Amino acid sequence: MTVPYVEALQEFEPVIGLETHVELGTASKMFCGCDTTFGAAPNTHTCPVCLGLPGALPVVNEAAIASTIRIGLALHCDIATWCRFARKNYFYPDMPKNFQTSQYDEPLCTDGYLDVEVDGETVRIPIERVHLEEDTGKSLHVGGSTGRIHGATHSLVDYNRAGIPLVEIVTKPVTGTKAKPAEVAKAYVTELRDVLRGLGVSDVRMEQGSLRCDVNVSLNKPGAEWGTRSETKNVNSLRSVERAVRSEVERQAARLRAGERIVQETRHFHEDTGLSTSGRSKEEATDYRYFPEPDLVPVAPDAAWVASLKAALPEAPSSRRRRLIEQLALSTLDAEAMTNAGVLDLVLATVDAGAPAAEARNWWLGHLAQSANSRGSEPSELPITPVQVARVVELVADGSLTAGLARQVVDGVLAGEGEPDDVVESRGLAVVSDEGALTTAVDEAIAANSDAADKIRAGKVQAVGALVGAVMKATRGQADASVVRRLLLERLGVRE
Amino acid sequence: MTDLTRLTAVQTAAAIAARDTTATEVAQAHLDRIAKVDGQLHAFLHVDAEGALETARRVDAGEITGPLAGVPLALKDVIVQKGVPTTVGSRILEGWRPPYDATVVERLKAAGVVILGKTNMDEFAMGSSTEHSAYGPTHNPWDLDRIPGGSGGGSSAAVASFESPLAIGTDTGGSIRQPAAVTGTVGVKPTYGGVSRYGLVAFSSSLDQAGPCARTVLDAALLHEVIAGHDPRDSTSIPAPVPPVVEAARQADISGMTIGVVKELSGEGYQPGVEQRFAEAVETLTGLGAKVVEVSCPHFAYALPAYYLIAPSEASSNLARFDSVRYGLRVGDDGERGLEEVMSLTRAQGFGAEVKRRIILGTYALSSGYYDAYYGQAQKVRSLITRDFTEAFAMADVLVSPAAPTVAFPLGEKLSDPLAMYRQDLATIPSNLYGGPAMSLPCGLADGLPVGLQIMAPTMRDELLYRVGAAFEAAMPAPVPPLDWEA
Amino acid sequence: MSEITRDEVAHLARLSRLALDDDELGRLAGELDVILGAVAKIGEVSDAEGVTPMTHAVPLENVMRPDVVMPSLPRDDVLAAAPAAEDGRFRVPRILDEEQ
Ligand SMILES: [Mg+2]
Ligand SMILES: [Zn+2]
């Protein structure tokens, strides 16, 4: 059925391609003034334009054009001096007009690249185009199993997402990834996400669908022509990007080895199994009947405007990374460990937010890495920000939290309970620093453990540990252990 | 007492302002007339008596003033009005009440214009006779057995029969001007981009343009001024002041102007009676002091083919949204059928034959492999037609031609011959492709039926139409239909 | 010049979501042939080469709006027009087609 990844890549050469869709973080939609905020009640962010009501007309959002140009510039693209939107015609209930306003043969940005690092080696990913289009609505499939379209009795459509500006970034075919097409694909999407985040153009949350990937893979015998490619859709996490390439390499290698032909097709990736299933075959591909959108006029970005956008670009994540590693005097080994764990940028961002490097490193390589692992996701996909981590570090530093409490606060943030301070408040996690309250607990502990207390009075100071434990237990971990210890010794009249 | 329905818009507004009458009386008089004659004409698809009387009341209360405050108007059913049924002459939108106002409607309301209701039209504005309405044809007030033109036959018939002094039409290939010609009224297609398309249900986005219908040139100018002007909700709206159309209509002086007669808009396909009235009209213009020259626009011969590729192509895409999901008709949803089948059944039953014909034609013209030969080539021809206009306007201030090649033909005559129907727009289509403004106004009768004179001007020179039109009208007032069929 | 077959019309009807019966397909094939025959003459325009296609009558560029949130429609108004609605959403028959 499949050929193991490593073995497959000894026999075949991979060619990969990635199409990434990014929802821009504009306040309003691409062609109307509706709010883009995620998570609103269904169909409350809709108007005549984004519902495709008869008579309604689109008007381009200037901020979306600016963001797209900035993305193009960050990816070293040429920016069009004149381009148009086009209509891509096909019927689908998520799409109110039954055409998508997109760009076709006149994209805003063309011909760029992005350098990514894989195991210390730089791979240059060529970018074909960056264009702007509109997102579709979202269907809920009812009556089938686990919300799948198959077996559903009907579907329910919400158009809140319809019309949100969507940037499509398409690579040229990437060759020469040798034994690491899956790793390169993941590194590319990760780096692209960091670039987009640095630009501030999108919140790039794969789990919310604001960053989505389609992955193209083909295999060929060394020296032979490129093989037929498949296109895997719905790849919605970094780990899945890697898994999708890997499973497709394994599947295609098996078919080719068996002398079978690869069908040019669309495949759907399933997060649960990590496998893809065959979808629509491209041989019956619909004819999109593209033509220039007659309801819009051309976009001709002024050279001076583009130059000013270029001048205001933030530092690229890769160079920022190099600079900070130097500044923080991280060892190469340390930096590599963090890179491999996918936390380097997070550590750096946490430092940027005010945390000492060592603390930031410990959190991201320790408790947070474990949390990510147990969730089966990447640390960067955790619902906690470097700013929030830095705040927790600060709370520990000023004595408001103990290390144990800090972990509980972080878990609270991860569970969606709000900001660290909210969690401290709602869970009642502040360190008990009221010595009056502690004294009661201390006295109770002494009374309940009179044997141990006697030993301590007799000079066996190391026995105090058991009493400290009892007090900590009684205060549910909210006391500062060193304070408890001091109080215990004072009550027992022992000096160290 | 004078019959309030016989007044022009200018006279009506003046009478209301002078308190000789009230907007409510005017509105009621027109509602009564509609109740009396529309059973025979079928110009209206929906009469909004309540809304009309409410606006009239506000005008009478002094809440709204202006040059057209209290003047009744009939709105082509292709323009959305909040809460008022809008069908576009199609079954697929039956019962739909839009949740928003078109920009044109907002402006009419702000001006205190009394909207009487929605007028009949060829389904999705595709046709030249109003026979393609899903709700049955409109009849020509000059002869009930004849067509009122199309697609805006309802609007022009309403104006010609004194159901309303004013109406709004839309013109994609002649749908304001050809009905005006065959009903003996004034109809103007403004410069493309001069009147906002926001809220105009799209047929062909790059050609559609709303404009005024009236019984006099000055009335049309006043309405033009109310509805025109930049609208940030329409990306193709021109950000420039409205041309001084009212001033030009009052000026009505053409001495010293050069008028070009387009050689290609005559001959084959044009009825002798029409050509005769047109020749006389040109003589009249000469008599009024204009210099007349002949101009040649060689690519006008390709205007009809270019139009019948561009308009259906855009329509095939614009009409895709009528899919039974968000509004309108749904057919065959029995819990068993899948969405694609329900959509396809709905569209097959909701659209009439002409609409389906054009969707199929447009889908074909846009499909890969044919795009360059059809849609792409048509767009190039459009450039050449524009070049013809530019060259002609170097020789003449305005161009003239017959507005329609024939007088009103009998109902049913061309229904089985799409090409014969399409040829009704021979003279009107070039201005749509070019984008410039054009007017049709009455220039006499042939066989007892009205003939229209078309005036064409350069883009954003709409005032030239009114200047020439008003001068001509002064010399040759519009004929009044005998209305001998009235009960 | 062209000879449109019933199958071609059926393909176009499928692309444009029109459930046409055999009679309609046959009739439309004939009509399309006639119309395409009539419009085919634009192919004869000899001086079209090198001419820029004109998609629009207005010479406008860069018409944009500022990124400002405007009020949406009340959801009840939106759903009131729907042939079917459920849980604040538009209800549609099951989708047998593949996901796009
Ligand atoms: Mg796309
Ligand atoms: Zn909207």
Number of B–C residue contacts, CB under 8 Å: 180
Q: Cα distance from C52 to chain B (closest Cα, Å)?
A: 6
Q: Residue C58: is its pLDDT beyond 90?
A: no
Into which CATH architecture does domain B4-251+429-475 fall?
Alpha-Beta Complex (3.90)
Start and end residues for every CATH 1.10.10.410 domain found in chain A: 435-491
Which is the catalytic residue, given B90, B151, B196, B324? Answer: B151
Q: What are the DSSP E strand ranges found in B153-311? A: 166-170, 186-189, 210-214, 258-262, 291-295
pLDDT band of C99, cuts 50, 70, 90: very low
Integer Cα distance of C18 and A27 in angstroms: 38
> Residue with structure tokens 């004869």?
C44
Nearest to A43 among C63, C66, C88 (CB): C88
Render pLDDT for B425-482 as a digit per residue (tens, 0 to 9). 999 999 999 999 999 999 999 999 999 999 999 999 999 999 999 999 999 999 999 9
Whether residues A60 and B199 touch (CB distance < 8 A) is answered with no
Mutate to test the interface with B, among A32, A44, A61, A91 (most CBs of B within 10 A): A91
Nearest CB partner across the interface for A28, out of C67, C79, C87 = C67
The reply to whether C97 falls in a domain is no
Domain count, chain C: 1
What pLDDT shows up at residue B481? 97
Mean pLDDT of A339-366: 87
CATH of the domain at C13: 1.10.20
The closest ligand to the CA of A290 turns out to be 1
Q: Are strands B186-189 and B438-446 parallel, antiparallel or unpaired?
A: antiparallel
Share of chain B above pLDDT 70, in %: 100
Report the distance separating Cα B366 and Cα B127, nearest Å: 21
Residue A304: both structure tokens together: 């001076």
pLDDT per residue over B284-319, tens digit each?
Answer: 999 999 999 999 999 999 999 999 999 999 999 999
Whether a cis peptide bond, with omega within 30° of 0, leads into B151 is yes
Contacts of C97 in chain A (CB under 8 A): 92
pLDDT band at A116 (very low <50, low <70, confident <90, very high): very high
Which domain does C26 fall in, by range?
Answer: 6-44
- Which tens digits make up the pLDDT trace of B117-133? 999 999 999 999 999 99
- C-alpha B471/C-alpha B254 separation (Å) is 7
Query: How far, CA to CA in Å, does B123 sit from each of B93, B101, B428?
Result: 10, 21, 19
How far apart CA B69 and CA B55 sit, in angstroms, is: 9
What was the pLDDT predicted at B234?
A: 98
Mutation site for B-interface testing, chosen from C5, C22, C39 by largest number of B Cβ within 10 Å = C39
pLDDT digits (tens, 9 = 90+) for A209-219: 899 999 999 99
pLDDT of residue A429: 81
Q: Predicted confidence band at B76 (pLDDT cuts at 50, 70, 90)?
A: very high
Cβ–Cβ gap A91/B335 under 8 Å: no
Range among A258-267, A281-290, A457-466, B204-213 with highest mean pLDDT value? B204-213
Q: Are A149 and A141 in contact (CB under 8 A)?
A: yes
Q: Which CATH class is domain A435-491?
A: mainly alpha
User: Closest Cα to residue B327, out of B90, B45, B169, B135?
Assistant: B90
All residues with CB under 5 Å from ion ligand 2: A 32, 34, 47, 49-50
Chain A residues inside the 8 Å CB shell of B89: none
Which phi and psi angles does C72 have, rounded to 5°? Answer: -85, 175
Task: Please determine, for residue C1, whether its predicted confidence score (pLDDT) is greater than 60.
Answer: no
Element (H, E) at B25: helix B23-41
Q: Which helix (H) or strand (E) holds A332?
A: helix A332-340
| pLDDT tier for residue B134 given thresholds of 50, 70 and 90 | very high
User: Does residue B368 sit at the A interface (CB-CB below 8 Å)?
Assistant: yes
Average pLDDT over every residue of A9-24: 97
Q: pLDDT averaged over chain B?
A: 97
Mapping DSSP to helix (H, G, I), strand (E, B) and coil, where does residue B7 land? Answer: coil
pLDDT band at A402 (very low <50, low <70, confident <90, very high): confident
Is 50 exceeded by the pLDDT of residue C100?
A: no
Give the residue from chain C lying closest to A232, CA to CA: C100
Tokens of B272: 């002798």
Q: Does the model's ipTM exceed the 0.95 cut?
A: yes
Query: Is 80 exceeded by the pLDDT of residue A328?
Result: no
Query: What confidence score (pLDDT) does residue A433 get?
Result: 67
Inspect the interface and report whether the beta carbons of C54 and B232 lie closer than 8 Å: no
| Inside any domain, residue C86 | no
The nearest CA of chain B is from the CA of C80 a distance in Å of 9
B93 touches A at CB < 8 Å:
yes
User: Which one-letter amino acid corresponds to residue B153?
Assistant: G
Instruction: Indicate the domain borders of chain B.
Output: 4-251+429-475
> Cα(B55) to centroid of ligand 2, in Å?
30
Query: What tens digit of pLDDT does each residue of B82-100 get?
Result: 999 999 999 999 999 999 9
Residue A319 pLDDT exceeds 50: yes
Active site residue B204: no
- Whether the per-residue pLDDT at B180 is higher than 60: the answer is yes
Give CA torsion, residues B57, B58, B59, B60, to 10 deg: 50
Residue B471 and residue B252 in contact, taking contact as beta carbons nearer than 8 Å: yes
Report strand pairing: B166-170 vs B210-214. antiparallel
Residue A482 pLDDT grade (very low, low, confident, very high; cuts 50, 70, 90): confident
Show the tokens assigned to B457. 């001007």
- Strand ordering across the sheet containing A138-142: A138-142, A154-158, C89-93, C85-86
Which tens digit of pLDDT belongs to each residue from A132-156?
999 999 999 998 776 677 788 999 9
Strands of the sheet containing A265-270, edge to edge, are: A78-79, A109-118, A121-134, A165-171, A13-23, A211-220, A230-235, A265-270, A275-281
Is the predicted pLDDT of residue A283 greater than 60, yes or no?
A: no
Position A279 scores a pLDDT of 80
> Scanning the structure block, which residue is given the tokens 């301070």?
A421
C12 domain residue, yes or no: yes
Residue C62 placed within a domain: no
A12's tokens: 């075949």
Distance B135 CA to ligand 1 centre (A): 40
Instruction: Taking residues A95-100, report their average pLDDT.
Output: 98
Give dist(CA A69, CA A80) in Å, integer: 9
Which residues of chain C neighbour B339 with C-beta distances below 8 Å?
A: 92-97
Supply the angle between the helices A450-457 and A464-474 in degrees, to the nearest 10.
140
Of the listed ligands, the closest to the CA of A90 is: 1
Look at residue C34 and tell me if it is in a domain.
yes
Angle among Cα A96, B122, C20 to the nearest 5 degrees reads 60
Q: What is the spatial distance between Cα A204 and Cα A210, in angstroms, rounded to a whole number?
A: 5
Torsion sign across C-alpha atoms B347, B352, B353, B359: negative
- pLDDT tens, position by position, A222-259: 999 999 999 999 898 999 999 999 999 999 999 999 99
| CB contact at 8 A, B226 and B113 | yes
- Let me know: does B155 contact B186? Beta carbons within 8 Å: no
A195 pLDDT above the threshold of 50: yes
Residue B151: active-site member = yes
Model confidence at A284: pLDDT above 60: no
Q: What is the pLDDT of residue A29?
A: 98
Residues in chain C within 8 Å Cβ distance of B436: 57
pTM: 0.89
The reported pLDDT for the residue numbered A314 is: 93
Spell B383-400 as b/e; 16+ CB within 10 A means b: bbbbbbbeebbeebbbbb
Question: Whole-number mean pLDDT of chain A?
Answer: 91
Give the minimum alpha-carbon distance from A143 to chain B in angstroms, rounded to a whole number.
12
- Is residue B161 annotated as a catalytic residue, yes or no? no
For residue B19, pLDDT over 80 is answered with yes
Buried b (16+ CB within 10 A) or exposed e, A285-301: eebbbbbbbbbbbbbeb
